[in-house]
């Protein structure tokens, strides 16, 4: 039993040292970003609430959660259709490579085209 206490005490000291080191680094950053009120008035007090919820658990309204999931899925489907319509063809939205190489490949966006036009204009002037 004594070994367990020694290991627990050593772990506690290690965690305490890590928290102290983080505080030295993060406290000035909070001040610099003017986030102290958010941290001390909202986030820190919320830690105790979240810890109690984690220990005790909490009830979920399964029907409401399922309905919310359906609402989200409907919104996702509508947004996907809008993206496909804008792109001119469906592609794997979840793949950055597919989005980069997909249906818009070879087509310049209006912003890209405008920048390209400016570059060509400058090159023409420089000649």
State the Cα–Cα distance between residues 38 and 58, nearest whole angstrom.
25
State the Cα–Cα distance between residues 31 and 127, nearest whole angstrom.
53
CB 10 within 8 A of CB 2: no
Q: Tell me the per-residue pLDDT of 4-60, one tens digit each, with 9 for 90 and over.
A: 888 888 899 999 999 999 999 999 999 999 999 999 999 999 999 999 999 999 899
Q: State the DSSP string of 15-39.
A: HHHHHHHHHHHHHHHHHHTT-HHHI
What is the structure's pLDDT at 120?
75
Run of H or E residues at 113 = helix 110-126
What is the structure's pLDDT at 99?
73
């Amino acid at each position: 039993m004594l070994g367990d206490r020694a290991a627990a005490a050593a772990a506690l000291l290690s965690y305490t040292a890590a928290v102290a080191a983080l505080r030295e680094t993060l406290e000035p950053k909070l001040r610099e970003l003017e986030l102290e009120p958010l941290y001390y008035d909202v986030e820190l007090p919320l830690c105790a609430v979240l810890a109690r919820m984690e220990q005790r658990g909490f009830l979920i309204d399964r029907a409401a959660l399922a309905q919310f999931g359906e609402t989200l899925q409907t919104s996702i489907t509508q947004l996907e259709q809008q993206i496909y319509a804008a792109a001119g063809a469906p592609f794997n939205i979840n793949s950055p490579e597919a989005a980069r190489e997909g249906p818009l490949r070879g087509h310049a966006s209006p912003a890209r085209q405008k920048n390209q036009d400016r570059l060509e204009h400058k090159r023409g002037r420089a000649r």
